[in-house]
Structure 1
Amino acid sequence: MRIIDSPVIETDRLVLRVPRVEDFERFAGMFADESTHHIGGPLPRGDAWRRFLQMPGAWLLQGFGMFSVIEKSTGSWVGQAGPWRPDGWPGNEIGYAFHPDARGKGYATETCAAAIDWAFANLGWSEVIHCIAPANTASQDVARRLGSTRRGPATLPPPLDVHEVDVWGQSRAQWDARRTAR
């Protein structure tokens, strides 16, 4: 079964689309890596499968979720990014996670900019946030490049409340002003 009317967004180098089962191998590889400790990893394959199913479920039930990010030049799944709002979350998030071999290429900033544009145009959001572990300086750099600023600490809903996070964010007006200035 495919999710009806699922969006596809293209950037210069990437395609953003709803997750598909064939994305799972690379997703599991990403979550097997120690570097995912900021987002709940590393995970054994079975736990990665259950985590993978969250996004298609969000798309089906909420009408949005993180996109799978596909590299145009290779057709390879390189990560996930996009709108995310679980129950009890501190705001409308644009989240992101990328496979270790896709990091350092500017994909997170490119993808998140497209996802923010899509969320503001299609979801009626007035602001976006990013929940980032205080030690995750790479994600903080992405948030800064997107124009977000640190708003302070937040508590995620249980069982994630044991993880320390800072909320970074910006309003739609701030995003629009920044995009117009370019």
Structure 2
Amino acid sequence: QRPPPLFLPPLRRIVRQGNFAEWFGSRSWAIKKNALKRAKKLALLVDCPDSPSEDLKSCLKQKPAQTLLEQLAYFQGTDNLGELAPFAPVVENTSATAFLDTNPFQLMMEGKVHDVPWITSVVTAEGVFLTGFLQPLLEEVNERWAEIFPDVLDLSDSLDASQIETVPKELLDYYLGAGEDINRKNFKKFTQIV
């Protein structure tokens, strides 16, 4: 299978080839939905105005990095059993100076990409970056899977109510086997979900 081509429009004139650790545009956590909502929440946590956007951005830029990092716990979902990356690149479809004005996956599907040679790699157990933190809590993760899976898989903004009812069991049945629980025995299979 041919890897997807490079898609970042601002780099089109200067990039001749690429090397990526993985195809990040296809990951659920790679591009954030509701970015403004998250930015406003962060602004309020660090005593910045949440509007207008220019004031919000200006104030956040003045805050020390440590102050901003200390707020990440407020974005981790259910009991900090949540998101891998609460902040990530966003699609800025209303900005004339946007670095990314369309979802990368959409650009690729529409053929609106700069087709250059590139090398990519994928790590088999890439999800262990998150599941490694969850390993001591596997019993709790198993018991609360239906509740926490939207945060763990960063699907909170993507699923409707009916999907939230059915998807958790479907995922476990597909990856672990019908009726199997999340536990140490099938930790590698659980990591594949992430």
Q: Structure 2 length as normaliser, TM-score? A: 0.29
Higher helix share: 2
With structure 1 as the length reference, what TM-score do the two structures score? 0.30
